[in-house]
A and B are shown apart, each in its own frame.
Chain A
Protein backbone atom coordinates (compact mmCIF):
# COMPACT_ATOMS: atom_id res chain seq x y z
CA UNK A 1 0.00 0.00 0.00
CA UNK A 2 2.76 2.41 0.99
CA UNK A 3 4.63 1.40 -2.13
CA UNK A 4 1.60 2.22 -4.25
CA UNK A 5 1.25 5.57 -2.58
CA UNK A 6 4.87 6.48 -3.25
CA UNK A 7 4.56 5.28 -6.81
CA UNK A 8 1.48 7.38 -7.49
CA UNK A 9 3.15 10.39 -5.91
CA UNK A 10 6.22 9.96 -8.11
CA UNK A 11 3.99 9.64 -11.15
CA UNK A 12 2.02 12.80 -10.45
CA UNK A 13 5.10 14.82 -9.57
CA UNK A 14 6.51 13.75 -12.92
CA UNK A 15 3.29 14.99 -14.53
CA UNK A 16 3.71 18.30 -12.68
CA UNK A 17 7.23 18.61 -14.03
CA UNK A 18 6.09 18.09 -17.62
CA UNK A 19 3.98 21.24 -17.20
CA UNK A 20 7.12 23.18 -16.34
CA UNK A 21 9.32 21.51 -18.94
CA UNK A 22 8.61 24.11 -21.68
CA UNK A 23 9.95 26.86 -19.44
CA UNK A 24 13.17 24.93 -18.89
CA UNK A 25 13.37 24.17 -22.58
CA UNK A 26 12.82 27.76 -23.70
CA UNK A 27 15.51 29.03 -21.35
CA UNK A 28 18.10 26.42 -22.26
CA UNK A 29 17.35 26.65 -25.98
CA UNK A 30 17.77 30.41 -25.91
CA UNK A 31 21.25 30.00 -24.44
CA UNK A 32 22.49 27.52 -27.03
CA UNK A 33 24.49 28.36 -30.11
CA UNK A 34 23.19 27.27 -33.49
CA UNK A 35 25.30 24.11 -33.58
CA UNK A 36 24.57 23.06 -30.07
CA UNK A 37 20.82 23.47 -30.59
CA UNK A 38 20.98 20.58 -33.04
CA UNK A 39 23.54 18.43 -31.28
CA UNK A 40 21.95 18.72 -27.86
CA UNK A 41 18.37 19.98 -28.23
CA UNK A 42 16.97 19.00 -24.84
CA UNK A 43 19.94 18.92 -22.49
CA UNK A 44 21.61 21.61 -20.45
CA UNK A 45 23.79 23.91 -22.59
CA UNK A 46 27.53 23.27 -22.25
CA UNK A 47 28.45 26.90 -22.82
CA UNK A 48 26.14 29.84 -22.33
CA UNK A 49 25.61 31.92 -25.40
CA UNK A 50 23.80 35.21 -24.87
CA UNK A 51 24.10 36.27 -28.50
CA UNK A 52 20.68 34.85 -29.36
CA UNK A 53 18.92 37.53 -27.35
CA UNK A 54 20.78 40.36 -29.05
CA UNK A 55 20.12 38.93 -32.47
CA UNK A 56 16.47 38.21 -31.68
CA UNK A 57 15.97 41.75 -30.44
CA UNK A 58 17.46 43.24 -33.58
CA UNK A 59 15.53 41.10 -36.08
CA UNK A 60 12.35 40.35 -34.20
CA UNK A 61 10.24 43.47 -33.67
CA UNK A 62 9.68 42.58 -30.06
CA UNK A 63 9.12 46.14 -28.82
CA UNK A 64 6.53 46.93 -31.48
CA UNK A 65 4.60 43.72 -30.88
CA UNK A 66 4.87 44.07 -27.14
CA UNK A 67 3.57 47.62 -27.29
CA UNK A 68 0.71 46.56 -29.56
CA UNK A 69 -0.27 43.69 -27.27
CA UNK A 70 -0.22 46.11 -24.37
CA UNK A 71 -2.42 48.64 -26.19
CA UNK A 72 -4.94 46.00 -27.29
CA UNK A 73 -5.15 44.47 -23.83
CA UNK A 74 -5.28 47.73 -21.88
CA UNK A 75 -7.75 49.27 -24.33
CA UNK A 76 -10.07 46.28 -24.10
CA UNK A 77 -9.87 46.19 -20.32
CA UNK A 78 -10.66 49.89 -19.90
CA UNK A 79 -13.48 49.89 -22.42
CA UNK A 80 -15.08 46.65 -21.23
CA UNK A 81 -14.88 47.40 -17.54
CA UNK A 82 -16.29 50.93 -17.74
CA UNK A 83 -19.15 50.18 -20.11
CA UNK A 84 -19.81 46.74 -18.64
CA UNK A 85 -19.93 47.88 -15.02
CA UNK A 86 -22.26 50.74 -15.93
CA UNK A 87 -24.65 48.38 -17.66
CA UNK A 88 -24.47 45.91 -14.78
CA UNK A 89 -25.21 48.73 -12.33
CA UNK A 90 -28.22 49.85 -14.29
CA UNK A 91 -29.56 46.30 -14.57
CA UNK A 92 -29.16 45.58 -10.88
CA UNK A 93 -30.24 48.91 -9.38
CA UNK A 94 -32.18 51.19 -11.69
CA UNK A 95 -35.83 50.93 -12.53
CA UNK A 96 -35.95 50.18 -16.19
CA UNK A 97 -38.67 48.29 -18.00
CA UNK A 98 -36.25 46.18 -20.04
CA UNK A 99 -33.92 45.06 -17.25
CA UNK A 100 -34.53 41.34 -17.50
CA UNK A 101 -34.79 41.44 -21.28
CA UNK A 102 -31.43 43.21 -21.51
CA UNK A 103 -29.84 40.72 -19.14
CA UNK A 104 -31.05 37.81 -21.24
CA UNK A 105 -29.93 39.55 -24.42
CA UNK A 106 -26.41 40.10 -23.10
CA UNK A 107 -26.10 36.53 -21.84
CA UNK A 108 -26.55 35.32 -25.43
CA UNK A 109 -23.03 36.57 -25.99
CA UNK A 110 -21.64 33.62 -24.05
CA UNK A 111 -22.72 31.14 -26.73
CA UNK A 112 -21.17 32.68 -29.85
CA UNK A 113 -17.44 31.98 -30.12
CA UNK A 114 -15.54 34.89 -31.67
CA UNK A 115 -14.02 32.61 -34.34
CA UNK A 116 -17.31 31.94 -36.14
CA UNK A 117 -18.05 35.58 -36.92
CA UNK A 118 -14.56 36.42 -38.14
CA UNK A 119 -15.69 36.83 -41.76
CA UNK A 120 -18.50 39.36 -41.15
CA UNK A 121 -16.36 41.11 -38.52
CA UNK A 122 -13.58 41.47 -41.06
CA UNK A 123 -16.05 43.06 -43.50
CA UNK A 124 -17.52 45.30 -40.81
CA UNK A 125 -14.13 46.57 -39.74
CA UNK A 126 -13.21 47.31 -43.32
CA UNK A 127 -16.47 49.24 -43.79
CA UNK A 128 -15.89 51.26 -40.63
CA UNK A 129 -12.34 52.11 -41.86
CA UNK A 130 -10.73 50.98 -38.63
CA UNK A 131 -8.88 48.00 -40.10
CA UNK A 132 -5.46 49.55 -39.78
CA UNK A 133 -5.83 51.03 -36.34
CA UNK A 134 -5.87 49.78 -32.79
CA UNK A 135 -9.64 50.21 -32.63
CA UNK A 136 -10.03 47.46 -35.22
CA UNK A 137 -9.27 44.87 -32.58
CA UNK A 138 -10.16 46.69 -29.36
CA UNK A 139 -13.81 47.23 -30.32
CA UNK A 140 -14.63 43.61 -31.25
CA UNK A 141 -12.66 42.27 -28.28
CA UNK A 142 -14.68 44.50 -25.97
CA UNK A 143 -17.93 43.54 -27.62
CA UNK A 144 -17.17 39.90 -26.94
CA UNK A 145 -15.86 40.43 -23.41
CA UNK A 146 -18.90 42.42 -22.28
CA UNK A 147 -21.22 39.44 -21.80
CA UNK A 148 -19.26 37.69 -19.08
CA UNK A 149 -18.23 41.00 -17.49
CA UNK A 150 -21.83 42.18 -17.14
CA UNK A 151 -23.10 38.84 -15.83
CA UNK A 152 -20.40 38.59 -13.18
CA UNK A 153 -20.71 42.18 -11.99
CA UNK A 154 -24.49 41.87 -11.97
CA UNK A 155 -24.23 38.88 -9.60
CA UNK A 156 -21.78 40.81 -7.46
CA UNK A 157 -23.84 44.02 -7.29
CA UNK A 158 -27.04 42.19 -6.43
CA UNK A 159 -25.40 40.85 -3.29
CA UNK A 160 -24.40 44.36 -2.15
CA UNK A 161 -26.56 46.23 0.40
CA UNK A 162 -28.18 49.43 -0.83
CA UNK A 163 -27.52 51.54 2.28
CA UNK A 164 -24.40 53.20 0.95
CA UNK A 165 -26.19 54.51 -2.10
CA UNK A 166 -29.13 55.65 -0.04
CA UNK A 167 -26.76 57.62 2.17
CA UNK A 168 -25.07 59.26 -0.78
CA UNK A 169 -28.48 59.97 -2.27
CA UNK A 170 -29.56 61.76 0.89
CA UNK A 171 -26.33 63.74 0.85
CA UNK A 172 -27.43 65.04 -2.52
CA UNK A 173 -25.03 63.21 -4.83
CA UNK A 174 -26.31 62.49 -8.30
CA UNK A 175 -26.23 59.09 -9.92
CA UNK A 176 -22.91 59.63 -11.73
CA UNK A 177 -21.11 60.75 -8.59
CA UNK A 178 -22.60 57.86 -6.67
CA UNK A 179 -21.52 55.38 -9.29
CA UNK A 180 -17.97 56.57 -9.80
CA UNK A 181 -17.17 57.59 -6.22
CA UNK A 182 -19.00 54.92 -4.24
CA UNK A 183 -19.94 51.90 -6.33
CA UNK A 184 -16.77 51.73 -8.41
CA UNK A 185 -14.43 51.31 -5.41
CA UNK A 186 -16.73 48.72 -3.84
CA UNK A 187 -16.87 46.49 -6.92
CA UNK A 188 -13.09 46.70 -7.31
CA UNK A 189 -12.49 43.04 -6.35
CA UNK A 190 -14.90 41.84 -9.03
CA UNK A 191 -13.37 44.29 -11.50
CA UNK A 192 -9.89 42.96 -10.73
CA UNK A 193 -11.10 39.42 -11.42
CA UNK A 194 -12.50 40.52 -14.76
CA UNK A 195 -9.30 42.43 -15.42
CA UNK A 196 -7.22 39.27 -15.00
CA UNK A 197 -9.58 37.20 -17.14
CA UNK A 198 -9.61 39.71 -19.98
CA UNK A 199 -5.86 40.17 -19.74
CA UNK A 200 -5.14 36.46 -20.19
CA UNK A 201 -7.70 36.09 -22.95
CA UNK A 202 -6.73 39.12 -25.02
CA UNK A 203 -2.99 38.88 -24.47
CA UNK A 204 -3.05 35.37 -25.96
CA UNK A 205 -5.82 35.90 -28.50
CA UNK A 206 -4.83 34.56 -31.89
CA UNK A 207 -7.60 33.82 -34.45
CA UNK A 208 -9.05 37.31 -34.83
CA UNK A 209 -5.74 39.15 -34.57
CA UNK A 210 -4.33 36.90 -37.28
CA UNK A 211 -6.93 38.20 -39.75
CA UNK A 212 -7.51 41.79 -38.67
CA UNK A 213 -3.99 42.90 -37.75
CA UNK A 214 -2.44 42.02 -41.07
CA UNK A 215 -0.04 44.98 -41.15
CA UNK A 216 3.18 44.26 -39.30
CA UNK A 217 3.10 47.49 -37.30
CA UNK A 218 -0.24 46.54 -35.72
CA UNK A 219 0.49 42.91 -34.93
CA UNK A 220 0.32 41.72 -31.33
CA UNK A 221 2.92 39.33 -29.89
CA UNK A 222 1.04 36.10 -30.71
CA UNK A 223 0.76 36.89 -34.41
CA UNK A 224 4.09 38.68 -34.68
CA UNK A 225 5.87 35.70 -33.18
CA UNK A 226 4.35 33.36 -35.75
CA UNK A 227 5.44 35.55 -38.66
CA UNK A 228 8.93 35.67 -37.14
CA UNK A 229 9.02 31.87 -36.88
CA UNK A 230 8.04 31.67 -40.51
CA UNK A 231 10.89 34.03 -41.41
CA UNK A 232 13.52 32.19 -39.41
CA UNK A 233 12.27 28.85 -40.67
CA UNK A 234 13.67 25.85 -38.88
CA UNK A 235 17.22 27.00 -39.38
CA UNK A 236 18.00 28.51 -36.02
CA UNK A 237 16.31 27.11 -32.95
CA UNK A 238 18.46 29.16 -30.59
CA UNK A 239 16.93 32.31 -32.05
CA UNK A 240 13.45 30.80 -31.89
CA UNK A 241 14.00 29.90 -28.24
CA UNK A 242 15.17 33.42 -27.43
CA UNK A 243 12.20 35.06 -29.15
CA UNK A 244 9.77 32.65 -27.46
CA UNK A 245 11.25 33.42 -24.08
CA UNK A 246 11.14 37.18 -24.72
CA UNK A 247 7.49 36.98 -25.78
CA UNK A 248 6.44 34.85 -22.83
CA UNK A 249 8.42 36.76 -20.23
CA UNK A 250 5.84 39.52 -19.57
CA UNK A 251 3.14 36.91 -18.96
CA UNK A 252 5.42 34.73 -16.83
CA UNK A 253 6.37 37.69 -14.64
CA UNK A 254 2.72 38.68 -14.20
CA UNK A 255 1.89 35.08 -13.36
CA UNK A 256 4.67 34.70 -10.81
CA UNK A 257 3.65 37.91 -9.05
CA UNK A 258 -0.07 37.29 -9.01
CA UNK A 259 -0.59 33.57 -9.47
CA UNK A 260 -3.00 33.29 -6.59
CA UNK A 261 -5.10 36.20 -7.88
CA UNK A 262 -5.04 34.72 -11.37
CA UNK A 263 -6.10 31.35 -10.03
CA UNK A 264 -8.98 32.89 -8.10
CA UNK A 265 -10.08 34.84 -11.14
CA UNK A 266 -9.99 31.83 -13.42
CA UNK A 267 -11.98 29.70 -11.02
CA UNK A 268 -14.52 32.37 -10.04
CA UNK A 269 -16.83 31.33 -12.85
CA UNK A 270 -16.84 27.69 -11.80
CA UNK A 271 -18.29 28.38 -8.35
CA UNK A 272 -20.62 31.16 -9.40
CA UNK A 273 -22.69 28.88 -11.59
Chain B
Protein backbone atom coordinates (compact mmCIF):
# COMPACT_ATOMS: atom_id res chain seq x y z
CA UNK B 1 0.00 0.00 0.00
CA UNK B 2 2.77 2.40 0.90
CA UNK B 3 4.40 1.84 -2.48
CA UNK B 4 1.11 2.29 -4.27
CA UNK B 5 0.52 5.65 -2.61
CA UNK B 6 4.04 6.96 -2.80
CA UNK B 7 4.41 8.12 -6.35
CA UNK B 8 6.72 11.01 -7.10
CA UNK B 9 3.76 13.20 -7.94
CA UNK B 10 1.80 12.48 -4.78
CA UNK B 11 4.82 13.07 -2.57
CA UNK B 12 5.38 16.38 -4.31
CA UNK B 13 1.74 17.42 -3.94
CA UNK B 14 1.67 16.51 -0.26
CA UNK B 15 4.95 18.09 0.80
CA UNK B 16 5.47 21.08 -1.47
CA UNK B 17 2.87 23.57 -0.16
CA UNK B 18 3.80 23.27 3.51
CA UNK B 19 7.54 23.14 2.94
CA UNK B 20 7.34 26.10 0.59
CA UNK B 21 5.34 28.22 3.07
CA UNK B 22 7.64 27.23 5.90
CA UNK B 23 10.82 27.87 3.96
CA UNK B 24 9.82 31.19 2.44
CA UNK B 25 8.32 32.83 5.54
CA UNK B 26 10.04 31.16 8.47
CA UNK B 27 13.53 30.05 7.41
CA UNK B 28 14.43 32.21 4.43
CA UNK B 29 14.08 35.57 6.30
CA UNK B 30 17.10 34.57 8.39
CA UNK B 31 19.36 34.93 5.33
CA UNK B 32 18.46 38.54 4.45
CA UNK B 33 18.60 39.21 8.18
CA UNK B 34 22.27 38.24 8.33
CA UNK B 35 23.02 39.86 4.97
CA UNK B 36 21.34 43.11 5.97
CA UNK B 37 23.15 43.22 9.30
CA UNK B 38 26.43 43.50 7.39
CA UNK B 39 25.21 46.40 5.26
CA UNK B 40 24.13 49.96 5.77
CA UNK B 41 20.43 49.78 4.94
CA UNK B 42 17.73 52.42 5.44
CA UNK B 43 14.73 50.26 4.59
CA UNK B 44 14.59 51.27 0.94
CA UNK B 45 18.14 51.26 -0.34
CA UNK B 46 21.25 49.33 0.44
CA UNK B 47 23.95 51.91 1.12
CA UNK B 48 26.92 49.57 0.90
CA UNK B 49 28.77 46.84 2.72
CA UNK B 50 30.04 47.83 6.16
CA UNK B 51 31.24 44.53 7.59
CA UNK B 52 30.85 44.30 11.33
CA UNK B 53 30.41 48.04 11.87
CA UNK B 54 26.70 47.65 12.64
CA UNK B 55 27.50 45.21 15.39
CA UNK B 56 30.21 47.44 16.78
CA UNK B 57 27.92 50.46 16.88
CA UNK B 58 24.99 48.52 18.29
CA UNK B 59 27.14 47.11 21.08
CA UNK B 60 28.38 50.56 22.02
CA UNK B 61 24.85 52.04 22.29
CA UNK B 62 23.79 52.43 25.95
CA UNK B 63 20.13 51.73 25.02
CA UNK B 64 21.13 48.30 23.77
CA UNK B 65 22.38 47.37 27.23
CA UNK B 66 19.39 48.93 28.99
CA UNK B 67 17.19 46.83 26.73
CA UNK B 68 19.07 43.66 27.63
CA UNK B 69 18.89 44.44 31.32
CA UNK B 70 15.13 44.91 31.02
CA UNK B 71 14.59 41.77 28.98
CA UNK B 72 16.50 39.61 31.40
CA UNK B 73 14.69 41.25 34.31
CA UNK B 74 11.42 40.11 32.74
CA UNK B 75 12.86 36.61 32.22
CA UNK B 76 13.96 36.54 35.86
CA UNK B 77 10.58 37.73 37.10
CA UNK B 78 8.68 35.14 35.11
CA UNK B 79 11.02 32.27 36.05
CA UNK B 80 11.84 33.04 39.69
CA UNK B 81 8.49 34.47 40.69
CA UNK B 82 6.03 33.28 38.06
CA UNK B 83 6.86 29.59 37.90
CA UNK B 84 6.88 28.96 41.68
CA UNK B 85 3.57 30.85 42.00
CA UNK B 86 2.03 28.85 39.16
CA UNK B 87 3.26 25.66 40.74
CA UNK B 88 1.71 26.58 44.09
CA UNK B 89 -1.51 27.49 42.35
CA UNK B 90 -1.66 24.12 40.59
CA UNK B 91 -0.86 22.20 43.79
CA UNK B 92 -3.65 24.13 45.45
CA UNK B 93 -6.07 23.33 42.59
CA UNK B 94 -5.30 19.68 43.01
CA UNK B 95 -6.69 19.50 46.55
CA UNK B 96 -9.91 21.42 45.94
CA UNK B 97 -13.46 20.23 45.44
CA UNK B 98 -14.29 19.74 41.75
CA UNK B 99 -16.63 22.74 41.67
CA UNK B 100 -14.12 25.14 43.14
CA UNK B 101 -11.50 23.73 40.81
CA UNK B 102 -13.73 24.34 37.80
CA UNK B 103 -14.17 27.98 38.82
CA UNK B 104 -10.48 28.30 39.38
CA UNK B 105 -9.45 26.85 36.06
CA UNK B 106 -11.89 29.01 34.13
CA UNK B 107 -10.77 32.12 35.99
CA UNK B 108 -7.07 31.35 35.77
CA UNK B 109 -6.99 31.05 32.00
CA UNK B 110 -9.11 34.12 31.41
CA UNK B 111 -6.30 36.71 31.31
CA UNK B 112 -4.32 34.58 28.85
CA UNK B 113 -7.06 34.65 26.22
CA UNK B 114 -7.51 38.43 26.36
CA UNK B 115 -5.54 40.38 23.81
CA UNK B 116 -2.38 42.15 24.90
CA UNK B 117 -3.83 45.52 24.02
CA UNK B 118 -6.75 45.02 26.38
CA UNK B 119 -4.66 43.65 29.24
CA UNK B 120 -2.08 46.40 28.95
CA UNK B 121 -4.78 49.08 28.87
CA UNK B 122 -6.40 47.64 32.00
CA UNK B 123 -3.09 47.78 33.83
CA UNK B 124 -2.59 51.33 32.62
CA UNK B 125 -5.71 52.19 34.58
CA UNK B 126 -4.45 50.31 37.63
CA UNK B 127 -1.18 52.25 37.58
CA UNK B 128 -2.76 55.63 36.85
CA UNK B 129 -1.14 58.03 39.37
CA UNK B 130 -4.20 60.12 40.32
CA UNK B 131 -7.14 57.72 40.49
CA UNK B 132 -5.51 54.36 39.64
CA UNK B 133 -6.24 51.27 41.69
CA UNK B 134 -2.85 50.91 43.38
CA UNK B 135 -2.50 54.50 44.46
CA UNK B 136 -6.12 54.63 45.66
CA UNK B 137 -5.57 51.55 47.80
CA UNK B 138 -2.32 52.92 49.19
CA UNK B 139 -4.01 56.23 50.05
CA UNK B 140 -6.95 54.56 51.71
CA UNK B 141 -4.80 52.41 53.99
CA UNK B 142 -2.68 55.39 54.99
CA UNK B 143 0.47 54.59 53.05
CA UNK B 144 0.45 57.71 50.91
CA UNK B 145 4.24 57.81 50.97
CA UNK B 146 4.36 54.60 48.99
CA UNK B 147 2.36 55.94 46.07
CA UNK B 148 4.24 56.33 42.84
CA UNK B 149 3.64 57.51 39.38
CA UNK B 150 4.33 53.90 38.50
CA UNK B 151 4.86 54.06 34.76
CA UNK B 152 6.76 57.32 34.52
CA UNK B 153 9.33 56.82 37.26
CA UNK B 154 12.51 55.14 36.13
CA UNK B 155 12.71 52.90 39.17
CA UNK B 156 9.21 51.47 39.10
CA UNK B 157 8.40 51.28 35.40
CA UNK B 158 9.97 47.92 34.54
CA UNK B 159 8.77 45.95 37.59
CA UNK B 160 5.28 47.41 37.03
CA UNK B 161 5.12 46.23 33.43
CA UNK B 162 6.59 42.90 34.53
CA UNK B 163 3.81 42.44 37.05
CA UNK B 164 1.12 42.81 34.38
CA UNK B 165 2.87 40.20 32.24
CA UNK B 166 3.25 37.90 35.24
CA UNK B 167 -0.42 38.21 36.10
CA UNK B 168 -1.47 37.44 32.53
CA UNK B 169 0.32 34.10 32.29
CA UNK B 170 0.46 32.71 35.86
CA UNK B 171 -2.91 31.01 35.46
CA UNK B 172 -2.11 29.45 32.11
CA UNK B 173 1.15 27.97 33.44
CA UNK B 174 -0.68 26.70 36.52
CA UNK B 175 -3.11 24.84 34.28
CA UNK B 176 -0.25 23.34 32.29
CA UNK B 177 1.28 22.10 35.56
CA UNK B 178 -2.07 20.81 36.74
CA UNK B 179 -2.53 18.75 33.56
CA UNK B 180 0.81 17.17 34.33
CA UNK B 181 -0.21 16.46 37.92
CA UNK B 182 -3.34 14.65 36.74
CA UNK B 183 -1.23 12.17 34.72
CA UNK B 184 0.71 11.00 37.81
CA UNK B 185 -0.70 7.64 38.94
CA UNK B 186 -2.73 7.86 42.15
CA UNK B 187 -0.94 4.83 43.73
CA UNK B 188 2.08 6.96 44.53
CA UNK B 189 -0.03 9.28 46.64
CA UNK B 190 -1.82 6.45 48.39
CA UNK B 191 1.49 4.83 49.27
CA UNK B 192 2.81 8.13 50.57
CA UNK B 193 -0.30 8.73 52.66
CA UNK B 194 -0.02 5.24 54.17
CA UNK B 195 3.52 6.06 55.19
CA UNK B 196 2.25 9.21 56.87
CA UNK B 197 3.78 11.80 54.53
CA UNK B 198 2.66 15.40 54.93
CA UNK B 199 1.28 17.52 52.11
CA UNK B 200 4.56 19.39 51.75
CA UNK B 201 6.53 16.14 51.61
CA UNK B 202 4.22 14.71 48.96
CA UNK B 203 4.64 17.85 46.85
CA UNK B 204 8.41 17.97 47.14
CA UNK B 205 9.18 14.27 46.92
CA UNK B 206 6.53 12.99 44.51
CA UNK B 207 4.70 15.62 42.52
CA UNK B 208 7.52 17.93 41.51
CA UNK B 209 10.08 15.22 40.56
CA UNK B 210 7.49 13.34 38.50
CA UNK B 211 6.46 16.56 36.82
CA UNK B 212 9.88 17.39 35.42
CA UNK B 213 8.97 16.93 31.76
CA UNK B 214 6.07 19.34 32.06
CA UNK B 215 8.25 21.72 34.05
CA UNK B 216 10.81 21.67 31.26
CA UNK B 217 8.12 22.38 28.66
CA UNK B 218 6.76 25.32 30.65
CA UNK B 219 10.29 26.54 31.32
CA UNK B 220 11.14 26.68 27.62
CA UNK B 221 7.79 28.24 26.78
CA UNK B 222 8.03 30.99 29.35
CA UNK B 223 11.72 31.69 28.85
CA UNK B 224 11.36 32.19 25.10
CA UNK B 225 8.04 34.00 25.64
CA UNK B 226 9.53 36.49 28.06
CA UNK B 227 12.68 36.92 25.95
CA UNK B 228 10.45 38.19 23.14
CA UNK B 229 8.63 40.55 25.51
CA UNK B 230 7.47 43.54 23.51
CA UNK B 231 3.75 44.17 23.15
CA UNK B 232 3.02 45.20 26.74
CA UNK B 233 5.79 47.77 26.59
CA UNK B 234 4.52 49.12 23.30
CA UNK B 235 1.02 49.70 24.68
CA UNK B 236 1.84 50.76 28.24
CA UNK B 237 4.84 53.07 27.94
CA UNK B 238 6.13 53.00 24.34
CA UNK B 239 9.57 52.38 25.82
CA UNK B 240 9.48 55.45 28.03
CA UNK B 241 10.41 57.37 30.03
CA UNK B 242 13.27 57.89 27.56
CA UNK B 243 14.62 54.45 26.86
CA UNK B 244 14.23 53.01 30.37
CA UNK B 245 11.55 50.44 29.58
CA UNK B 246 12.72 49.24 26.16
CA UNK B 247 13.25 45.53 25.77
CA UNK B 248 15.54 43.96 23.17
CA UNK B 249 12.73 43.43 20.66
CA UNK B 250 11.52 46.96 21.29
CA UNK B 251 15.00 48.32 20.70
CA UNK B 252 15.12 46.34 17.46
CA UNK B 253 11.78 47.73 16.27
CA UNK B 254 12.78 51.22 17.31
CA UNK B 255 16.13 51.10 15.53
CA UNK B 256 14.69 49.72 12.32
CA UNK B 257 11.30 51.36 11.94
CA UNK B 258 11.58 54.58 13.94
CA UNK B 259 15.12 55.60 13.01
CA UNK B 260 15.31 53.80 9.62
CA UNK B 261 18.52 51.98 10.47
CA UNK B 262 17.59 48.53 9.17
CA UNK B 263 21.20 47.37 9.19
CA UNK B 264 21.58 48.03 12.91
CA UNK B 265 18.12 46.65 13.65
CA UNK B 266 18.98 43.35 12.00
CA UNK B 267 22.31 43.27 13.84
CA UNK B 268 20.35 43.42 17.12
CA UNK B 269 18.09 40.66 15.82
CA UNK B 270 21.02 38.40 14.91
CA UNK B 271 22.62 38.87 18.33
CA UNK B 272 19.24 38.10 19.89
CA UNK B 273 18.71 34.92 17.86
CA UNK B 274 22.09 33.68 19.07
CA UNK B 275 21.01 34.28 22.69
CA UNK B 276 17.72 32.42 22.11
CA UNK B 277 19.58 29.46 20.62
CA UNK B 278 22.11 29.33 23.46
CA UNK B 279 19.42 29.54 26.13
CA UNK B 280 17.19 26.86 24.62
CA UNK B 281 20.27 24.68 24.19
CA UNK B 282 21.16 25.13 27.87
CA UNK B 283 17.65 24.21 28.97
CA UNK B 284 17.54 21.18 26.66
CA UNK B 285 20.95 20.04 27.81
CA UNK B 286 20.83 20.57 31.55
CA UNK B 287 17.21 20.49 32.73
CA UNK B 288 15.37 17.22 33.30
CA UNK B 289 17.62 14.99 31.25
CA UNK B 290 16.62 11.65 32.68
CA UNK B 291 13.61 10.07 31.03
CA UNK B 292 11.02 9.04 33.57
CA UNK B 293 8.81 6.04 33.16
CA UNK B 294 5.73 5.57 35.27
A residues at B contact (CB < 8 Å): 8, 12-13, 15-20, 22-23, 25-26, 29, 38, 41-42, 79, 82-84, 86-87, 89-91, 93-96, 102, 105-106, 108-109, 111-113, 115-121, 123-124, 139-140, 142-144, 146-147, 150, 162, 165-166, 169, 175-176, 178-179, 200, 203-204, 206-207, 210-211, 221-223, 225-226, 229, 234, 237, 240, 244, 247-248, 251-252, 255, 259, 262-263, 266-267, 269-271, 273
Contact = CB atoms under 8 A, between A and B. Distances in A.
B19 interface: yes
B136 interface: yes
A244 B6 contact: no
B10 A142 contact: no
Given A117-B30, A119-B256, A142-B25, A90 B15 contact: yes
Contact of B89 (A12, A41, A124, A255): A12
A26 B122 contact: yes
Interface in B253-284: 253, 256-257, 262, 265-266, 269, 272-273, 276-277, 280
Contacts, number: 264
B117 interface: yes
B204 interface: no
22 contacts: A19-B107, A19-B108, A93-B2, A94-B10, A105-B19, A113-B227, A115-B252, A116-B272, A117-B269, A119-B265, A121-B25, A123-B43, A139-B21, A140-B25, A143-B25, A176-B13, A207-B228, A207-B253, A223-B117, A234-B128, A255-B113, A273-B213
B33 A117 contact: yes
Contact of B110 (A19, A207, A240, A266): A19
Interface stretch (B60-68, B74-82, B229-237): B229-237
A248 B115 contact: yes
Contacts of A82: 17
A161 to B, nearest CB: 12
A145 to B, nearest CB: 9
Interface of B: 1-7, 10-11, 13-15, 17-19, 21-22, 24-33, 36, 43, 89, 92, 100, 103-111, 113-119, 121-122, 125, 128, 131-133, 136, 167, 171-172, 175-176, 179-180, 183, 213-214, 216-218, 224, 227-228, 230-231, 234-235, 249, 252-253, 256-257, 262, 265-266, 269, 272-273, 276-277, 280
